[in-house]
Chains A and B, each alone.
Chain A
Amino acid sequence: MNTVATQFLDARGLNCPLPILRTKKALNGMAAGETLSILSTDPGSVKDMQAFCKQTRNELVASNANAGEFEFFIRKA
């Protein structure tokens, strides 16, 4: 699966709902089909990103967790 991101967002250290708000803002400035990579440390962001993508119909291409950090790849619809 192609998970090469064209935009990056560092949301580490931020708590609910900031990772989602920053993600939305980053996606606003992107073209359809482009992929955004997000780094977060908020455990709540795992479920929130899924819900956010489902609602906004952007595709959550991949989601990884390692050592207290969460990485998401979202392809803009």
Chain B
Amino acid sequence: MGASEEIMTKNLDKTQFDQWFDQRFESKMTEREDAHVASLAIIATKGTLDWAYPPFILASTASALGWDVSVFFTFYGLELLKKNLTLEVSPLGNPGMPMKMPFGPQWLKDINWKIPNLVMAGVPGFEKVATGLMHQTVKNNGVATIEELRSACIEADVKLVACQMTVELFGYSPDDFIPEIQDWIGAASFLPVAQKSDVCLFI
């Protein structure tokens, strides 16, 4: 508070002072809010093609909005940081997943093939086929590939950190992963980042 303002407040009665304080508080809060850089912390725990999308879409979009973004990859999520992405999708046990042909005439594309779990589980290579169809669907609809979204995150300085324990647990070699991983850390290192973030998501 400036000296002149201090003198001014001394001559104010309570109502006037409250009014002055409210205005001042409001403008200070707005000032702080404007100067605040939003932040997002994501914990990515899934390693399938479908579940690879949410963390990379949200991270890349948040960084485009000017947010500070960190993603902690743990357990199966580490698959998303491999140099060679070989992500697959399984419709088995996922009744929410539409099973539609990404090619052929429209009437064929419109059919939702309700295939029983027992059949899906019994046909060798079923996941390979489902994964191939998903890649085609992604391409047909102009949806980004995981590689594209990951590159967008790297370009935008999204902080990619990986779980050290998982590497030991699954017997991975650090050479399997992209060099852009900024750090190999544990829960104790990521939780303080999550604590300070405005948005924290477990995916």
Contacts and interface: CB of A to CB of B under 8 A. Distances in A.
Interface of A: 13-18, 20-21, 23-25, 41-42, 52, 55-56
A1 to B, nearest CB: 25
B179 interface: no
A15 B143 contact: yes
B57 A16 contact: yes
A17 B144 contact: yes
Interface in B53-74: 57, 60-61, 64-66
Interface string B2-34: 000000000000000000000000000000000
A46 B34 CA distance: 25
Highest count of chain B CB atoms <10 Å: which of A15, A17, A24, A42: A17
Interface string B154-165: 011000000000
B70 to A, nearest CB: 18
Contact of B66 (A21, A41, A55): A55
B57 A24 contact: no
Nearest to A14: B142
A14 B57 CA distance: 14
Contact of B64 (A15, A17, A41, A42): A17
Nearest to A27: B64
Given A55-B66, A56-B65, A21 B142 contact: no
A41 B64 CA distance: 20
B61 A20 contact: yes
B142 A13 contact: yes
Interface string B140-153: 01111000110010
A23 B63 CA distance: 12
Contacts of B61: 17, 20-21
Given A15-B144, A21-B60, A24-B156, 17 more contacts: A13-B142, A14-B142, A15-B143, A17-B61, A17-B144, A18-B142, A18-B143, A18-B148, A20-B61, A21-B61, A21-B64, A21-B144, A21-B152, A23-B64, A42-B142, A55-B66, A56-B64
A40 to B, nearest CB: 10
A52 B142 contact: no
A14 B61 CA distance: 14
Contacts of A20: 61, 64
A56 B143 CA distance: 24
A57 to B, nearest CB: 9
